């Protein structure tokens, strides 16, 4: 009877274990220069929602279109319309669904800055009901029997009064949710990590129940310049995450467009590696609704 070569089995187990430790802990694979086209389907939906929120806030059609092209959807308009319908079916925010549908409408028109003045989904319902109202013709005067009163009421003179007189129900638009109370700056930390880009400014925006919030506009200014960017464009990191690369020795100021504390004096810190080499670190800001 042949003996089991335990020494070989033990060597294989130890080798596999050391390989896993090296691959997972010591030198894990780093993904760089990845495109949104390789994201999971649910992350792609979050990416589209963030683009739609940015477009609704700025009206920058070329930027929205170029960001959508990174997803490499065969038909971006159909993808946006389908997502808007699915969001409504799942009971998600009507405002977010309207923003996605508005971006699809702008892509269909192909016109820069074609932002609908009303919610496209609600407007479609209103148009149907207004058409039905217009098709209701009053009966002829020969079929009407008038009963005299002491104070005859005035006949309606415009479309609004006519609608109220005939008691035809009209749709009402759902009020858009407000941003809530201003955000508080709850975290301002220096980050010395040589694996990150030099001068990387990381920003996280949280709701009052600590849920990350996508589509939040961030305003950053410095001496002689300014920029705006949004959370949620990197859903693989976090829905409420955004970042910006700071130039060394320049002081920056950051505030949320929705209203927040102002973070001032943001300068890339000087850090040092274990080998004694200097490099420029970054900063991490956390904003949260109280």
| The overall pTM is greater than 0.75 | no
CB contact at 8 A, 199 and 268: yes
- Mean of pLDDT over the chain: 78
Work out the number of other CB atoms within 10 angstroms of the CB of residue 175.
8
Nearest to 99 by CA among 122, 127, 130: 122
Phi, psi of 260, rounded to the nearest 5 degrees: -165, 175
- Kindly give the pairing relationship between strand 200-206 and strand 241-245: antiparallel
Helix (H/G/I), strand (E/B), else coil: 97: helix
Task: Please give the average per-residue pLDDT across 53-71, as a whole number.
Answer: 89
Q: State the pLDDT confidence band at 170, using cuts at 50, 70 and 90.
A: very low
Q: State the pLDDT confidence band at 134, using cuts at 50, 70 and 90.
A: very low
Q: Rounded to whole angstroms, how far apart are CA atoms 173 and 119? A: 8
pLDDT digits (tens, 9 = 90+) for 228-250: 999 988 888 888 999 999 999 99
Residue 155 has pLDDT above 60, yes or no: no
- Tokens 């609908």 appear where? 116
């Amino acid at each position: 009877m042949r003996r089991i070569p335990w020494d070989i089995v033990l060597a294989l187990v130890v080798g596999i274990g050391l390989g896993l430790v090296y691959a997972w802990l010591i030198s894990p694979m780093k993904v760089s220069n990845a495109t949104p086209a390789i994201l999971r389907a649910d992350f792609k939906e979050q990416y589209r929602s963030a683009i739609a929120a940015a477009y609704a806030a700025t009206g920058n059609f070329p930027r929205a279109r170029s960001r959508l092209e990174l997803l490499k959807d065969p038909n971006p308009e159909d993808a946006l319309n389908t997502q808007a319908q699915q969001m409504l079916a799942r009971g998600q925010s009507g405002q977010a669904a309207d923003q996605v549908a508005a971006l699809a409408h702008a892509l269909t028109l192909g016109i820069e800055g074609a932002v609908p003045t009303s919610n496209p989904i609600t407007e479609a319902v209103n148009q149907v009901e207004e058409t039905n109202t217009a098709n209701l013709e009053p009966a002829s005067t020969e079929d009407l029997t008038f009963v005299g009163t002491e104070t005859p009421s005035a006949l309606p003179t415009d479309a609004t009064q006519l609608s109220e007189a005939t008691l035809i129900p009209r749709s009402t638009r759902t009020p858009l949710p407000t941003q809530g109370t201003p955000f508080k700056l709850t975290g301002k930390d220096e980050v010395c990590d040589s694996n990150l880009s030099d001068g990387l400014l990381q920003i996280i925006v949280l709701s009052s129940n600590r849920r990350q919030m996508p589509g939040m506009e961030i305003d950053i200014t410095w001496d002689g310049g300014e920029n705006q960017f949004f959370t949620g464009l990197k859903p693989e990191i976090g829905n409420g995450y955004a970042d910006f690369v700071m130039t060394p020795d320049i002081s920056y100021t950051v505030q949320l467009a929705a209203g927040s504390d102002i973070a001032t004096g943001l300068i890339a810190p000087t850090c040092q590696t274990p080998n004694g080499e200097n490099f420029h670190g970054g900063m991490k800001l956390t904003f949260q609704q109280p």
